């Protein structure tokens, strides 16, 4: 798919969410359409806690050759996570690391890092991972961890971003892909999409409209971040 400023989102409605009318959305920044072909394949480890629709969107983008990547492993922390079922459907290994079985956040993150290394992961993709991560994970993959958040950061950080946007009465909200740093929802922004708040919206209808755009920007943001890092690496190689 060619990136353009305005995209009809109708075609990207998922089947397992309530149907709402979707208009259009602004995605920034634009991604060069040939980014996928220009990049060597990258190896992803995806972390998810729940439904996994973003995991699915990334897997689908790879299958559609919109993202030159391979998902090496899905890590999930909730035994009920539908993301694990989705991974099975794609033939992707799914590893359960149940946070309740670890004595601390650091202990969980150590197990995550070990698993990501075992599966030879280069980039870590937090796609609905509902646990706060520690420097144990962040320092193991410097500038290689991306998260998606359902607001236009820096507005509405935290676990209730959609509800906060509704309560604030904003007319436009959206979603953000950003690098993960120790402070929650605060790393450098890679890509955002704007989503209108419509009269009568509930958190469910608004979150659904945001999800549609998340599925658009996450694969593109991964490609863009990988391209930027690759360009930086080439630049520093040339200088040394």
Contact set with ligand GRF (CB under 6 A)? 48, 50-54, 127-128, 148-150, 175, 211, 214
Query: Nearest 10 degrees: CA dihedral of 182, 184, 186, 190?
Result: 90
Nearer to ligand GRF, 175 or 225 (CB): 175
Q: How far is Cα 230 from Cα 186, in angstroms, rounded to an integer?
A: 23
Residue placing its CB nearer to ligand GRF in the complex, 28 or 231: 28
Taking the complex as a whole, the smallest distance from the CB of residue 81 to ligand GRF amounts, in Å, to 8
Place of tokens 């009568």: 200
Nearer to ligand GRF, 121 or 148 (CB): 148
Which member of 36, 99, 149, 208 is catalytic?
A: 149
Give whichever of 49 and 115 is closer to ligand GRF, judged by the CB atom: 49
Question: For residue 8, what are its two tokens?
Answer: 């009809």
Active site residue 149: yes
Q: How far is the CB of 236 from ligand GRF (least distance, A)?
A: 32
Nearer to ligand GRF, 2 or 188 (CB): 188
The least CB distance from residue 197 to ligand GRF, in Å, is 15
Nearest residue to ligand GRF, by Cβ distance, number only: 128
State the DSSP string of the chain.
----SEEE-GGG--TTS------EEEEES---TTHHHHSPPEEEEEEESS--HHHHHHHHHHHTTSS-EEEEEEEES-TT-HHHHHHHHHT--EEE--GGGSSSHHHHHHHHHHHHHHTT-SEEEESS--S---HHHHTTSTT-EEEEESSSTTSS-STTHHHHHHHHT-SEEEEEEEE--SSTT-SPEEEEEEEEPPTT--HHHHHHHHHHHHHHHHHHHHHHHHHHHHHHHHHHHHH-
We find the least distance from the C-beta atom of residue 139 to ligand GRF, in angstroms, to be 22
Q: How far is the CB of 240 from ligand GRF (least distance, A)?
A: 38
Q: Which residues are catalytic?
A: 149
């Amino acid at each position: 798919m060619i990136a353009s400023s305005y995209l009809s989102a109708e075609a990207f409605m998922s089947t397992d969410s309530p149907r709402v009318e979707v208009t259009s959305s602004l995605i920034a920044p634009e991604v060069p359409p040939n980014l996928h072909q220009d990049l060597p394949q990258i190896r992803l480890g995806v972390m998810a806690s729940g439904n996994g629709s973003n995991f699915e969107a990334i897997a689908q983008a790879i299958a559609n050759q919109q993202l030159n990547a391979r998902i090496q492993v899905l890590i999930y922390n909730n035994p009920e996570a539908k993301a694990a079922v989705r991974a099975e459907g794609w033939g992707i290994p799914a590893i359960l690391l149940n946070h309740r079985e670890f004595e601390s956040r650091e202990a969980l993150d150590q197990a995550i890092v070990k698993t990501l290394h075992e599966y030879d992961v280069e980039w870590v993709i937090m796609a609905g991972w509902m646990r706060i991560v520690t420097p144990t994970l962040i320092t193991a993959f410097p500038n290689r961890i991306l998260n998606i958040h359902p607001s236009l950061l820096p507005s509405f950080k935290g676990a209730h971003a959609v509800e906060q946007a509704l309560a604030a009465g904003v007319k436009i909200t959206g979603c953000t892909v950003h690098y993960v740093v120790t402070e929650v929802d605060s790393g450098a922004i890679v890509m955002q999409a704007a989503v209108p708040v419509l009269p009568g919206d509930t958190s469910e209808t608004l979150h659904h409209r945001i999800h549609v755009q998340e599925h658009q920007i996450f694969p593109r943001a991964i490609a863009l971040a990988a391209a930027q890092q690759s360009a930086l690496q080439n630049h520093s190689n040339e200088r040394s």
